[in-house]
Structure formats: C-alpha cells, structure tokens
Chains A and B, each alone.
Chain A
Amino acid sequence: MGLDGSNGGTGMNGMSIVRGAKFAAIIVAGLMIAGCAKQQDTTGMTAAAVPGSPQDFLVNVGDRVFFDTDSSDLSDQARATLDKQSEWLNHYNRYNFTIEGHADERGTREYNLALGARRAETVREYLVSRGVSAQRMRTISYGKERPVATCDDISCWSQNRRAVIVLDQSS
C-alpha cells in the first residue's frame, strides 16, 4: 500500500514502453484520418518533428519521468530520460521551461502538493547537475490535481506520479 498508489511492480520501464506505444498509435491513426480527408493540404501534419522543436523534445526525448509510490527517488529509467533531456536542453538553450511535479490520487490533498513539489525539485537538481542553467527553470507542484490517467487502478496511478518538463513556447 502506499501514499499515492501502489507500485505496479513491473517497474517504470514497462510503463514507459506502454505509453510510448500508445502515443505512436495515436499519431498513426491521426495521419490516416487526415490522409483520407485531405489530399492537398498537408500543412500542420508534419509528424516528423523539426529538430529543436517542442515536438522534437516530446517525441524524441520524452517530456516526463515517473516515480514510485510516495517517492521522489529517480529510477535508472528516469535518470536516462533526464540525461537525454539535459543534453537536448543544453543544445537548444533558447528554451526556458517549467518542471511540473505531480502525485497520483492515492494520497491526501496537502501532502500530495508537497510531494509533487519534492518531485519537481528532484528533477530540477538533477538537470542543474547536468549543466542546465537554473535560471531557465521554474518548478510548480500540482499535487493530485492534474491527473493524465483516470482509470482508478494501479497502472493509471503510476502514470500520474510524474514530473513533466513544459517548454516555454514563447522562449
């Protein structure tokens, strides 16, 4: 049992793969529909992300890392993602960004706010340790207020225990 949900037990690797597969499937479906509906106008349908674009960051680097129940420790998988993120962020250093910390719904309101903050701070410190300027980042905790998955079981809860890098689009 845990504070913000039980760990899936399969570790974070499996979860990331599942998410990645789902994401790819959605993109493919979108292209097929668009392909049927529109023959000429393909603007805005660039699936291949422009290097250095937010889409590039999302698809080729990954914008989030996941945490175990009531934990802000970084798994090997999370460190690998953060390493790629810091490399990308150092290369495209025009971006300022926000680190959002989130918790799943299996905790109480106030504690989850603090837990989300702790997760965002962990990511912040890691990125700084990889040479990303602290001036470019801010952190915010949403506690359990912004779930991405809501299916009331362990697999969903683990997707919600996350820290997400949101690039400042104006930067």
Chain B
Amino acid sequence: MNSNSIRNNSSGADKANANIMKPSQMPRSPMSRRRVLALGAAAGSLALSSRAGAVVRLDITQGNIQPLPIAIPNFIGGTQDDDETAISVTQVISADLQRSGLFAPIDPAAFLEKIATVDTVPNFPDWRTINAQALVTGRLTRQGDGRLKAEFRLWDVVAGQQLAGQQYFTTPDNWRRIAHIIADAIYERITGEGGYFDSRVVFVDETGPKIRRVKRLAIMDQDGANVRYLTRGDELVLTPRFSPSTQEITYMAYGEGDPRVYLLNIETGQREIVGNFPGMSFAPRFSPDGQRVIMSLQENSNSNLFVMDLRSKATTRLTNTQAIDTAPCYSPDGTQICFESDRGGQPQIYVMPAVGGPAQRISFGDGIYSTPVWSPSGDYIAFTRQYENKFAIGVMKPDGSGERILTEGFHNEGPTFAPNGRVIMFFRDEEGGPGPSLFTIDIAGRNDQKVPTPSFASDPAWSPLLS
C-alpha cells in the first residue's frame, strides 16, 4: 500500500461504501448527508420553515436529563417492496436514539394517528395526547435506477412545526447507514450537539479459553451490526486504532520476528509494517491529519515515544527517558500529545508538545493513571485509573482539573470517545468472568450500556463520523 491509495480512497463519497469483503462489487453511488429535503417546492402547502426558538430542545449539558419522549412511526414504503426496509430503518433509528439515553421512543401501540404520508402536516393534538414531544415521519422509495430514496421530517409536536426535513439517496444495501444518518440528524437538531450514530468501531474479538485466547481484529457499526473480521486469528493482535479517514487502522501484531506496529487498509486488505525499528514497537495511534503514526518503541528496559511520517517514512524520537513512556495520543489540533509514563515511579498521565520537549504531569489523584485519550473536541482526556485494586474509567480536563470517575469495578480499561465526544466506549471484565465485553457510558457517568458483540471483545476504538 502506498500513500497515494490512501488519498484516493479517502476522497469523496466512496467512503460511504467501504466494504472490505467484496471491494470489487462495491457500487460507487454518492450519498449526501446534507441534502435538505426539497419538499417545500414539491408541496407548497408544506412550507413550514423551522423557526428559531423551537420548544423541543434537550440541553444535554444539564446534570439530570429526562429522556425526550419521541414518536417514530414506521417509515412508509414508497412501493410495497420497500415496506420491509422501511420498517427496518425505523427500528434502527429508534434503537440509536433510545441507546443514547437522551430519547424515550414511545410504544407504537399508543399511537392515535396513522401516518400515511410524509407530505402533509401530522395531526399534532393526537401526538400531544400521548405525550410525544417530537415526531419523526419518513418514507423509503426505490428509484428507477435502483437507488433508495430516504426522506424524513422531524416535527416539534409541542410547537406544531417542522424542525428538520431531509432526503438521501443511496444503494439499498446501505439502508443501515441511512438510518444512522437520520438518527444523527434528529440527535443534532434536538440536542444541538453533533451526532455519532453513523460511525464504526474497530476492536479485538476474543475467543477460546483465557490461557489460549485467539484474538482477531474486527470492525462493526457502532450499534454492533455488520461485524466483519479483518484478521484470521493466527497471530496475536492488539490495540487497533482508526485513521481519521476511517479507511485504515494501525495496530500491533505478533507476526514474524519482533511484535510490531502495522498499518492495514480495510478496503484492500493490504498491510505494511510501520517503521523499521529493532525491538518491539507498540501502542500506535494516528495523528489527527492521518499523516503520522505515533507509538512506543522498546529500548532495552525502557520504552520511548517515536513518530513516523507515513509519506517520507522518516521517524523522529519524541522522548528519551529511563522509563516506560507509552499509550500516546494527539490532541485534536495536533499540537500536543498526552501519554502515560512511569518516570515518576508509577504510571501517570503527562502532556507535552507534539514535537517533544518538556512534559507536564496532569494526573494527581490517588492511584495509577494510564491509557489517556483526548476527546475529539479537545475538552477532556479520558483514562484508566487503578486504585485499591479496582479499575475505573474517568475523564479530566487537559490541564488535569475537573477529574470525574465514570465507572469503577474489577476491571474497566481502554476508553475511546464517540465522534461527538459525549460518549465513551471501553472494555470491562467482571471478577471471575470468562472474558471482556464492550460498554458505553456518557461523559457524565450515565447510561452504562453493553455493546453487543459475537464473542468476548476488548480494545475498542471509535471511528470518526463516516460522512
């Protein structure tokens, strides 16, 4: 693989169709996320512009959030053949919103009005009666060229007005992505924050007994759907991380010779070694521009941080300590690096300039701090904390202030932020349990939820938004 193929693959709308299993069969139809539904022109009587100051709005910066009651009747099939897909899309949207903890989809059995079209204004009193605050209506229609058209409208039931309306075109096998994109649009319009449903997670799938665990790289949608395996399990793989383009991952594997950091193109399946270091290289992570990989390199008893430019292949040493420096992660603007180091005796979190230089310790709570990861918006660093033989996931501000433990137990490790920075995924092992699973929790410590995976799972890394 060369850097040209990276740039080519990361350009344009092809990202939407990433499918490493059958790359040759992948259609290349574009899917626009921002195409505003042109119903205003098609149906003039529906000129219900969304005014500022809508009543329905969820302030998720508040401490105690009541999930917003939302009605999501099944989308209408434009033709009879579309009915099944329309129902599936509706279910995925509803599940996304429910799992966020911010929405409470209303049982469809309570609905009074049957939505038969998206082209007319719903009967708001019917929806107010069942205490819905928001209503989503939508339609899926197979086009003459085989594409799928998805339309939806988000209604403010209390104010009796439209909040959003958009349409999207894609290939039918992309129906799940359409659902996630619509769920993101609803989430964004109601909360004012960016969404995160149209994203993926790369993780390590674990099978077999603990003393002979087989680990495979796997990728799935953030809701656990569409699991695909990227390696066969014949070699040990650890700590996969997404590139910003979502086309590549970097990870550590035990192949021939020393265990090292690799780069894998998930569309083509091509892989290459990152850097030509003597000894073990590990704990890789991409820079925010995707042009560099930062990692640890073992040097005798010590481990230091290095960065490699993926185009020039030039490597630069960033630290030179008689200690273990590892788990590096860039700030989203690329100017700083957080990492863990035991230079002070036991592992703590440090921040230093991205080019190296003096490092400031930022973790000063009780216990050992490790696996720091910077939030996409830059406001928090999440970490694993070990204290009194418990493992916790927490967040602190990049200056070390405002520390907050989100969950604590026998073993919680390896946080990764959702693209909007509001949710963290990590892996958890119960005491005496057979193996780890993935969980999500929001950055206030609410809404602790298991993520479905086919078997044991660890080392999750959340992708950026796919579009």
Contact = CB atoms under 8 A, between A and B. Distances in A.
Top 8 nearest A-B pairs by Cβ distance? A150-B210, A114-B324, A110-B283, A114-B303, A108-B370, A110-B326, A110-B327, A121-B301
Interface of A: 1-3, 6, 70, 72, 105-111, 113-115, 117-118, 121-122, 140-143, 145-150, 152
Contacts of A107: 370, 386
Nearest to B239: A109
A115 B324 contact: yes
Contact of B371 (A2, A110, A140): A110
Contact of B210 (A2, A114, A115, A147): A147
A2 B298 CA distance: 22
B180 to A, nearest CB: 29
B187 interface: no
Contacts of B431: 152
Given A109-B413, A114-B296, A145 B301 contact: no
Contacts of B151: none
B280 A140 contact: yes
Contacts of B387: 1
B432 A152 contact: yes
Query: What's the dominant secondary structure at chain B's contact region?
Result: strand
B258 interface: yes
A105 B411 contact: yes
A141 B259 contact: yes
Interface residues of B, number: 45
B205 interface: no
A65 B37 CA distance: 68
Given A121-B301, A147-B210, A111 B327 contact: yes
Contacts of B302: 118
Given A108-B414, A110-B371, A140 B211 contact: no
A145 B282 contact: no
A6 B458 CA distance: 23
B388 interface: yes
B466 interface: no
A145 B436 CA distance: 13
Contacts of B371: 108-110
A72 B259 contact: no
Contacts of B368: 3
Nearest to B323: A114
Interface in B296-314: 296, 298, 300-303
Nearest to B252: A113
Contacts of B236: 142, 145
Contacts of B370: 107-108, 110-111
B257 to A, nearest CB: 9
A117 B386 contact: no
Interface in B237-265: 238-239, 252, 258-259
Contacts of A109: 238-239, 371, 413-414, 458-459
Which of A121, A147, A148, A149 lies at the interface centre, i.e. has the most chain B CB atoms within 10 A of its CB?
A: A121
Contact of A114 (B326, B413, B459): B326
A117 B236 CA distance: 16
A39 to B, nearest CB: 34
Contact of B211 (A3, A108, A117, A148): A148
8 contacts: A3-B386, A110-B340, A111-B326, A113-B238, A114-B282, A117-B298, A118-B301, A121-B300
B455 interface: no
